[in-house]
Every structure is written in structure tokens, then in C-alpha cells.
Amino acid sequence: MYSEKVVDYFMNPRNAGKLEDANAIGEVGNPKCGDVMKIYLKINDKEIIEDIKFETFGCAAAIATSSMITEMVKGKTITEALSINNKDVAEALGGLPPAKLHCSLLAQEGIEAAVADYFIRKTGRAPEGFRPAHSTCTACGGSCGGGAAVQAQEEEEEKFVSEDHRVAE
């Protein structure tokens, strides 16, 4: 079902964990659907991604795509990172089953959400014309609201904090 590379990136994730000095954080997905990605970026004054880490709650494909996107964007400029799409992530992993392609879209959206967060922190707003992609989650047929980047959290949604800590209900 999964390529050897997907299994490797799932079993040996690269850049996993929380980045304490992050100046950009993107969170996408929905706990009701099952996959949640939180991506931390450390972006320098030249808008180069110096460091990146992720925390993902989800399936093997979600963890593998999170890990792969961190490898693909580290050391790149924001513009270069935003040019990487979900198909690039899936191809870098040797492909994904059709039912798991939404995981690669969440990886793309995680970067988009983190970049939007960077500009909001820096300037108070996202760049003009910046419109992160919005997805329809194929895992649940869209009933969870999808993994929309910079998605407003609904009150009844569980707020994701990390794999080890969740906000008590």
C-alpha cells in the first residue's frame, strides 16, 4: 500500500517535535477527521526558513508527508517554500494511495498557514493577495470542514496543542 520511502519517513520522521524559538506556526486539519498537523518555522530576516519542526497527530501518511515537507522547505525562501505543492510532496515520497492524498495537501497547507502566521506576526496582516489553498478532506468526504489553512476554529472543535498535551474539555 505504501512506498518504502513513506514507511521510512513514518518510522524515522525528520524534524519531528516542537520548535521553541519558532516565529511562525501553522496548524491545519481537524481532530474530528483524524489528521492534525502543526508546523513550526524559524524564518530569518532574509525570509529564509532556517529551521522547521512538526507535530502531527494522524496516520502514517500524515506523519510521512509532514516529515517530507520539512525536508523540502528547510533552507528555502518563503517564496520557494510556497511554490511546493501537495503533488511535489507525494512524488517525493514515491507516491501515496489515492485515499491518502489529502495528507500531502495538509502538508502544503501547513506551510501556507505558517507563512501567513509569520506575516501576521510581522505586519499585523497576511500579504495582500495571499490566499492559502482550502481543501476538502477526502478521508471524511468533507464533513469535517477539510484542512483549510488559517481555518477559524469552531468552538466545539478540540484545540490541538501537541501530541502530549491537549486542552482539557
- Residues marked active site are found at 33, 103
Let me know if 71 is exposed, middle or buried by CB neighbors in 10 A (0-12, 13-18, 19+): middle
| Cα gap 52→111, rounded to integer Å | 10
- What is the pairing mode between strands 35-43 and 24-30? antiparallel
CB-based burial, 29-64: b 16+ in 10 Å, e otherwise: bbeebebbbbbbbbbeeebebebbbbbbbbbbbbbb
| Cα gap 162→169, rounded to integer Å | 15
**How many secondary structure helices (H) and strands (E) does the chain include?**
5, 3
Look-up of cell digits 507516491? 95
